[in-house]
Amino acid sequence: MAAFGYRLIARDGRARLGEVTTAHGVIETPAFMPVGTVGTVKAMMPESVAATGARIILGNTYHLMLRPGAERVARMGGLHRFMNWPGPILTDSGGFQVMSLAKLRTMTEEGVTFQSHLDGSRHMLSPERSMEIQRLLDSNITMCLDECTAFPATPDEAAASMRLSMRWARRSRDAFVERPGYGLFGIVQGSVYPDLRAESAAALREIGFDGYAVGGLAVGEGQSEMFRILDVTTPLLPEDRPRYLMGVGKPADLVGGVMRGVDMFDCVMPTRSGRTGQAFTRRGTVNIRNARHQDDPRPLDEVCGCPACRQYSRAYLHHLAKAEEVLGLMLMTWHNLYYYQDLMRGLRQAIADRRLDQFAAEFAALQEAGDIDPL
Amino acid sequence: MAAFGYRLIARDGRARLGEVTTAHGVIETPAFMPVGTVGTVKAMMPESVAATGARIILGNTYHLMLRPGAERVARMGGLHRFMNWPGPILTDSGGFQVMSLAKLRTMTEEGVTFQSHLDGSRHMLSPERSMEIQRLLDSNITMCLDECTAFPATPDEAAASMRLSMRWARRSRDAFVERPGYGLFGIVQGSVYPDLRAESAAALREIGFDGYAVGGLAVGEGQSEMFRILDVTTPLLPEDRPRYLMGVGKPADLVGGVMRGVDMFDCVMPTRSGRTGQAFTRRGTVNIRNARHQDDPRPLDEVCGCPACRQYSRAYLHHLAKAEEVLGLMLMTWHNLYYYQDLMRGLRQAIADRRLDQFAAEFAALQEAGDIDPL
């Protein structure tokens, strides 16, 4: 079994081309991970997810622990087998969604107790239980349990929250069961305060992890603030480990993140937006529900290789959206995931060719130019 | 371009093995047509529909005339191109659904005016307009506009309704524009009255059609009554034309229909039931939402060749249904359509082998045996 590891292949500025090796396969980075919340990337067959170019998906510990339950997934052979996704899987720790979805939360040094948003049942999440759940799910990349610091937070609030997360990181590391091809990532917190980010990064490096995530961003601080924090944070992370920017983001966020040395991303945006009729394209976003598409025989994007663009008109996609047909969710999701993966392919190639600045400029110009004119 | 036609290949009792040739391909019969109501077989990519073995699908004139509109579909190159289904398409006349879905209907000899159930807009359907719409959709098999006689109906009501349908059949025939590879089907009405069915069949044969449908069944009369009417109706239809039993049905209805000389069927049951968690299997129906499946690692049916059975457990399908995930709709629909097509493949082979009685007996025994025991 291959050891879990990161190999740096090439650089362009601070951007990195590399690969992450796991027990379930190799991931070329920079990589975007589609979100498979509750054991399915919504509205997609797993082979279709793979066909977009995705090599790793994300599962949500909070959702899966409540339904169907981590022990049940383990009895079914783990999440890969349960959901028919043979490739690598990263799971979050559950902490973020406990804070955003669960009811009646009680937070202590030990962990957090809460009520399920589904049926009101009581549950507990601690660093130790989070590690156990992620092991039961058979996740290739386990995330430390942390507290995603609220935004905005005062320096004192941010420091207290970050230090709790660092104590939990230590406990997560201690509870994590090492297995070949499986890794544990620490999460840098510290809100928008560079000194706290530095303290957090140092604490995590002291513990030692297989990868380092940047958490607590994309929570309302805006893109320029996010980039400012990334600028001071990624240089503090070890060169020989992958870096993961959690919950990010829009296409322009991915380009900016890659240019600041990020290797991995995840976000519900391509899947969730697809289900509401919003397409991400080379020329920016397109709302397919808009009446201007109803007689348009052209594809969403004439150079896109996804089935939605190769085999269907805007008029048809518009019709599906208006009629609230399931196929509309399927095709729009497929397009968005394909576009995201295509963007990542472009970014990787640009790093390999040492022309990332040019790629980013062309990307921005096309996005700014906007959608094609109506017929 | 191939002429529209039917070729009888083999018989077993009254059952017929044959093929229907259209401008968009050949259909082996007996055939089951999945319903693609509004330009999509719900929750399925069209290539997946084809992968189940379906060679022809049905489109609903009522739905399509309201949204996206027949003229719009025609501007987009017809329904095949619009929905990316290159194979044959049959459209109904719109009459049945005007009666079941539209509001403020006014019925005259000329036709029916009604309000859309979607937006209240006023529309008219006459034999001439139904022919025009179906031509705009580019339907390979056009259905005459008829009145689906209400059930129950007195002999007088049934006779009056049937005779109106026969006058509309004449007008449909006159308005239908002949094109190579395209056909027009008449529809036998007459409720549960053999003499009216005979009068209707004779009237249609007098006009002359490319195929003959049996309408006004599966409307509440029950399976034994339906079979009784089929027993007296199919012998009245020409041997050299396909026969189509409209809106039928459950698997046992298909077997019984084939044994009574029916060549074509359509029904929303496999698709609609799939979306509510009901699977059709060799061993009868299975409600995947039932808690007994939640820890069951076995497939719905261990010999089924569909993706839902080959790659997923009952536990996973149960989970998707409980979590109301789109993939659950997709997989359950796929299974049901595959099962229906597999049943039709079995029926065709049994006719070819002259062992249809044996096939039907084995089918009934397995259905009666019921689902596998819980673990």
pLDDT digits (tens, 9 = 90+) for A351-371: 999 999 999 999 999 999 999
- Give the residue from A330, A331, A332, A337 with the most B CB atoms within 10 Å of its CB, the best one to mutate: A330
Look at residues A90, A98, A84 and name the one whose alpha carbon lies nearest to residue A40.
A84
In a domain, A355, yes or no: yes
Residue A154 maps to a domain: yes
Shared-domain flag, residues A139 and A49: yes
pLDDT digits (tens, 9 = 90+) for A223-280: 999 999 999 999 999 999 999 999 999 999 999 999 999 999 999 999 999 999 999 9
Pick the last residue of a domain from B239, B267, B295: B267
d(CA B181, nearest CA chain A) in Å: 24
Residue B19 tokens, joined: 């093929």
Contact A107, A167 (CB under 8 A): no
Q: What residues of chain B lie within 8 A of the CB of A43, using their CB? A: 326-327, 330
CB of A320 less than 8 A from some CB of B: yes
Residues B318, A248: Cα–Cα separation, whole Å: 31
Which residue bears the tokens 């025991």?
B373
Give pLDDT, residue B261: 98
Which portions of chain B are predicted below pLDDT 70?
1
Phi, psi (deg, nearest 5) at residue B95: -60, -45
Using N-to-C axis directions, what is the helix angle for B326-352 and A326-352, rounded to 10°? 110
Per-residue pLDDT at A148 exceeds 90: no
Q: How far is CA A326 from CA A49, A298, B127, B280, B318, in A?
A: 17, 21, 32, 21, 19
Of A38, A311, A327, the CB nearest to B325: A38
- Of A226, A246, A267, the last residue of a domain is A267
Residues A286 and A262 occupy one common structural domain: no
Q: Are residues A299 and A362 in the same domain?
A: yes
Do the chains contact at B40 and A320, CB–CB below 8 Å? yes
Instruction: Report the catalytic residues of B.
Output: 92, 266
Contact A316 B76 (CB under 8 A): yes
If asked whether residues A252 and A312 sit together in one domain, one would say no
What whole-number percentage of chain A has pLDDT above 90?
97
The tens digit of pLDDT for each residue in A19-77 reads 999 999 999 999 999 999 999 999 999 999 999 999 999 999 999 999 999 999 999 99
Q: Domain boundary at B206, B241, B267, which?
A: B267
What is the total residue count of chain B? Answer: 375
Q: What is the pLDDT of residues A184-201, one digit of tens each?
A: 999 999 999 999 999 999
- Do residues A34 and A59 both lie within one domain? yes
Burial A206-228 (b: 16+ CB within 10 A, else e): eeebbbbbbbbbbbebeeeebee
| Cβ partners under 8 Å of residue A225, min gap 6 | A192
For chain A, what is the mean pLDDT?
A: 97
Partner-chain contact A323 B67, CB within 8 Å: yes
Contacts of A307 in chain B (CB under 8 A): 45
The verdict on a CB contact (< 8 Å) between A297 and B326 is no
Smallest Cβ–Cβ distance between B82 and the set A38, A307, A316 belongs to A316
Cβ-nearest to B312 among A84, A315, A320: A84
Residues of A in contact with B295 (CB under 8 A): 72, 75-76
CATH code of the domain covering residue B94? 3.20.20.105
Long-range contacts of B346-355 (CB under 8 A, 24+ apart): B347/B15, B347/B30, B347/B254, B347/B255, B347/B258, B348/B17, B348/B28, B348/B29, B348/B30, B350/B12, B351/B10, B351/B11, B351/B12, B351/B15, B351/B16, B351/B17, B351/B30, B351/B258, B352/B9, B352/B10, B352/B17, B354/B10, B354/B12, B355/B12
Count helices and strands in chain A by DSSP H and E runs: 15, 16
- Whether residue B10 is found in the same domain as residue B73: yes
Instruction: Kindly list the residues from chain A whose CB atom is less than 8 angstroms away from the CB atom of residue B323.
Output: 38-39, 67
- Rounded to the nearest angstrom, the minimum Cα separation between A131 and chain B is 23
Shared domain for B253 and B286, answered yes or no, is: no
A312 touches chain B (CB under 8 A): yes
State how far the Cα of B310 lies from the Cα of B308, in Å rounded to an integer. Answer: 6
Does the distance separating the beta carbons of B330 and A67 come in below 8 Å? no
**Letter for the amino acid at A194?**
P
For residues B363 and B295, state if they share a domain.
yes
Do the chains contact at B295 and A39, CB–CB below 8 Å? no
- Asked if the C-beta of B322 comes within 8 angstroms of chain A's C-beta atoms, the answer is yes
- B306 phi and psi, to 5 degrees? -80, 160
Phi and psi angles of residue B119, each rounded to the nearest 5 degrees, phi first: -140, 5
Q: What average pLDDT score do residues A309-315 get?
A: 98
Print the domain residue range for B79.
5-267
Cβ distance A82 to B38 less than 8 Å, yes or no, reads no
Residue B6, phi then psi, degrees to nearest 5: -125, 135
Residue B204 within any structural domain of the chain: yes
Q: Answer whether A316 touches B (CB < 8 Å).
A: yes
Asked whether residue B40 is domain-assigned, the answer is yes
Biggest CA-to-CA distance, chain A: 61
Whether A174 and A322 share a structural domain: no
Cβ contact, residue pair B311, A84, below 8 Å: yes
| pLDDT tens string A322-342 | 999 999 999 999 999 999 999
CB interface of A with B, residues 40-79, below 8 Å = 40, 42-45, 67-68, 72, 75-77
In a domain, A198, yes or no: yes
Contacts of B74 in chain A (CB under 8 A): none
Whether A112 is covered by a domain: the verdict is: no
Whether the Cβ atoms of residue B73 and residue B136 lie closer than 8 Å to each other: yes
- Neighboring chain A residues of B44 at a CB cutoff of 8 Å: 327
pLDDT of residue A1: 62
Q: Helix, strand, coil: what percent of chain A each, to 5?
A: 45, 20, 35
Query: Do residues A89 and A139 lie in contact, with contact meaning Cβ atoms separated by under 8 Å?
Result: yes
Domain membership of residue B375 (yes or no) is no
CB of A130 closer than 8 Å to CB of A306:
no
Catalytic residues of A: 92, 266
Q: Do the Cβ atoms of B297 and A322 come within 8 Å?
A: no
Give B-chain residues touching A75 at CB under 8 angstroms.
295, 297
Nearest to B316 among A43, A83, A319 (CB): A83
Using the Cβ of A90 and the Cβ atoms of chain B, whether some distance falls under 8 Å is answered with no
Nearest to B10 by CA among B371, B350, B373: B350
Torsion of CA B348, B351, B357, B360, to 10 degrees: 0
Residues A190 and A291 in one domain: no
Residues 6 or more apart from A255 whose CB is under 8 A from it?
A343, A347, A360, A363, A364
Predicted confidence (pLDDT) at residue A106 exceeds the cutoff of 80: yes
- For the four alpha carbons of B291, B293, B296 and B297, in that order, the dihedral sign comes to negative
The answer to whether A287 touches A266, Cβ cutoff 8 Å, is no
- Domains in chain B, number: 2
Q: What value, to the nearest 5°, has the Cα angle with vertex B95 and ends B230 and B176?
A: 90
| Cβ within 8 Å of B, A 241-280 | none
Is the ipTM higher than 0.90? The answer is yes
What is the predicted pLDDT for the residue at B341?
A: 98
Yes or no, beta carbons of B326 and A329 under 8 Å apart = yes
Model pTM? 0.98
Does residue B66 sit in the same domain as residue B205? yes
- A327: in domain: yes
Residue A104 clears pLDDT 80, i.e. is over it: yes
Residues B57 and B148 in one domain: yes
